[in-house]
Structure 1
Amino acid sequence: MDKIYIEGLEVQSLIGVYDWERDATQRLLVDIVLFSDLSTPATSDDVKDTLNYAEVADAVTAVAAHSKFALIEALALAMIRQIFKQFPVQKITLKLSKPDILPTAQNVAVEFTRERNEE
C-alpha cells in the first residue's frame, strides 16, 4: 500500500491533566502516515485524484484547536477518527508528541495505528 507522510505538523491544544496545563494551549507535534492507493494520481498527475494533504493537516489542526482532552491518547484517537471521517484512507499511523512537558526529556509521545474498520 502507498503512503503519504505529514511530519512535524505543529498544532495548539488545551491538553493536560494538571491545573497549570489547563491555563493556556500547548504546542504539540503530529506525524501522520496515510495509507492509500496512489496509483491513479501517480499515472494521471492530477491533484484531484490524490489525497489533499493540506486539507488533512487543516482537519487535524482543527481537532486540536477545539479539543479539551486531558490525555494525548484521547486527542490522537480523535484526530484519527476525523481523518477517517473526511478522507478515503485505508490505514493511519499517527504519532502525537508533547515536546515541552518534561524538563529532562526532549519529547513525550503516543503512537496509534488504526485501519478504517478498527477506528
Structure 2
Amino acid sequence: MDRIIIEGLQVTSLIGVYDWERTAQTPLLVDLQIWVDLTPASQSDLVTDTLDYANIAEAVKQVASNSKFELLEALAGAMIKQIFSQFDCQKIELKLSKPEILPDARNVAVVLTRTKP
C-alpha cells in the first residue's frame, strides 16, 4: 500500500499533567504516515486524485491548538480521529513528540497506529 509521509510538523498545544505545563502552549512535533491508494494520482498527475498535504497538516494543527489534553496519547488519538473523519485513507501511524520535556532526554514521544474503523 502507498503512503504519504509528513515529518517534523510543528504544532503547539496546551498539554501536560503538571500545573507548570498548563500555563502556556507547548511546542510539539508530529510525524505522520498515511496509507492511501496513490495509483490514481500517479497516473493522472492531478491533486484532486490524492490527499492534500497542506489540508492534512492544517487539520492536525487545529486539533493541537484547540485541545487541552493532559496526555500525548489522548492528543495523538484525537489527531488520528480527525484525519480519518476528513480524509479517505486506510491506516495512520502518528508519532507525537514533546522535545526537551525531561531534563536528561532529548525527546519523549508516543506512536499510535490505527486502521480505519
* TM-score, with structure 2 as normaliser: 0.99
Amino acid at match of 1:3: R
Cα pair 1:27 1:100 within 8 Å, conserved? no
Number of aligned residue pairs: 117
Cα pair 1:36 1:90 within 8 Å, conserved? yes
Q: Structure 2: state its 5+ residue gaps.
A: none
1:75 aligns with 2:63: no
1:26 aligns with 2:26: yes
* TM-score, with structure 1 as normaliser: 0.97
1:55 aligns with 2:55: yes
Tell me how far apart the structure 2 counterparts of residues 37 and 115 of structure 1 sit (CA, whole Å).
Answer: 14
What is the RMSD computed on CA atoms of the aligned residues?
0.4
Q: Structure 1: state its 5+ residue gaps.
A: none
Deviation (angstroms), 1:100 = 2.3
Tell me how far apart the structure 1 counterparts of residues 84 and 11 of structure 2 sit (CA, whole Å).
Answer: 19
Deviation (angstroms), 1:103 = 1.6
- Taking only the aligned residue pairs, the percentage that are identical comes to 62
Hey, which bits of structure 1, 4+ residues long, moved more than 3 A?
none
Deviation (angstroms), 1:40 = 0.3
Deviation (angstroms), 1:34 = 0.5
Q: Kindly provide the CA deviation profile for residues 73-116 of structure 1, in whole angstroms up to 9, marking residues without a partner as x.
A: 00000000000000001000000000021121010000000000
